Amino acid sequence: MTNEMRALVKPGPVRGLEMHRAPVPEIGADDVLIRVKKTGICGTDIHIWQWDDWAARTVPTPLITGHEFAGEIVELGRHVEGLSLGQRCSGEGHLIGKTSRQSRAGKFHLDPETRGIGVNEQGAFAEYLALPAFNVVPLPDTIDDEIGAILDPLGNAVHTALSFDLLGEDVLVTGAGPIGTMAAAVARHAGARHVVITDVNQARLDLAGQVADVRPVNVTTEDLASVFPELGMKQGFDVGLEMSGNQAALDQMVETMVMGGRIALLGIPPGKSPVDWSRIVFKAITIKGVYGREIFETWYKMIAMLENGLDVRRVITHRFSASEYREGFAAMLSGTSGKVVLDWT
């Protein structure tokens, strides 16, 4: 194996990424080396590409970016057990500490010392990735590399959607981006009665309708409440999944929830947003903030659902070779794509 690899690097505080030659990472005793085959482009990667205020505050440079991947193990640290050379895998991109109360209690996704590959540490947009063996998620033969490369965002969708009991419930998803669309598919798979998804982007609503059995609503042309009689709904939505990060969408969600409704928030509004807390209090609404995935319960749940018929492949709308990364990012920046996957083979 050569000691150099191709890698997409954020070279400094500038817009875009560059393809560089970089050393193949060395692994520690508790790590594995993964030959990356497919990677997904995430909204976080777009923030880094654009070098917005969040990226400038958060991301050290130079840095290999990217955190959605699938590949195979090509080297094992000397302390690693339970994994094997040639094993196909994806992995949890959140690198946790071991000393916090949350981590010691097994609530790894709540560890305040968490650092992210491709955000704080060297990432997966490369031919090879060093990863703690603890973070490796083996892939069954039923899940190919393309789906394996989008398990990270699917995990966000699963974590959000399964925040509350969905069986027989009417669910509103605000935001028809890839994660919102996958969350809608998960809600239907988990037994929701009706799933409505809203957005202002008709192309993404059309895609959501292709991926999942949902009722898309473009709120610029259709009144959300007008779907109640169509769907036989009496009061409103039982569960809300807020994926847009848009204050108007959250306000509309609160207005159309039933008394005692439950909302899971994954979308992040820019800056501070005004909230009419009286509406939330008087409607007795429960709100849960969602960050990342439950490590590793979400991974078990989503792999089980994929093996049991959950189909999200159509959320992937663009496929490029890694050398065509500029075209891949252009597709994401267009605002009309679903997931974009890069092939590193």
Query: Is 44 known to be catalytic?
Result: yes
The C-alpha atoms of residue 189 and residue 79 are separated, in whole angstroms, by: 39
Q: Which residue has the tokens 């959605």?
A: 68
Active-site pick, 47, 58, 61, 336: 47
Under a CB-based contact definition with an 8 Å cutoff, are residues 56 and 155 in contact? no
Rounded Cα distance between 229 and 322, Å, is: 48
Contacting residues for 335 by C-beta, under 8 A, at least 6 apart: 201, 203, 204
Q: Is residue 47 among the annotated active site residues?
A: yes
Q: Which of 44, 174, 198, 256 is catalytic?
A: 44
Spatial distance between the Cα atoms of 255 and 250, rounded to a whole number of angstroms? 9
Q: Where are the beta strands (DSSP E) in the chain?
A: 4-10, 18-23, 31-41, 63-64, 68-76, 88-91, 94-95, 115-116, 128-132, 136-138, 170-174, 194-199, 215-218, 237-242, 257-265, 286-289, 316-321, 339-343
Angle separating helix axes 151-161 and 297-307, nearest 10 degrees: 100
- Which residue shows structure tokens 């898309």? 216
Q: Measure CA of the first residue to CA of the last residue in the chain; give whole Å.
A: 14
Helix, strand, coil: what percent of the chain each, to 5? 30, 30, 40
Residues identified as active-site: 44, 47
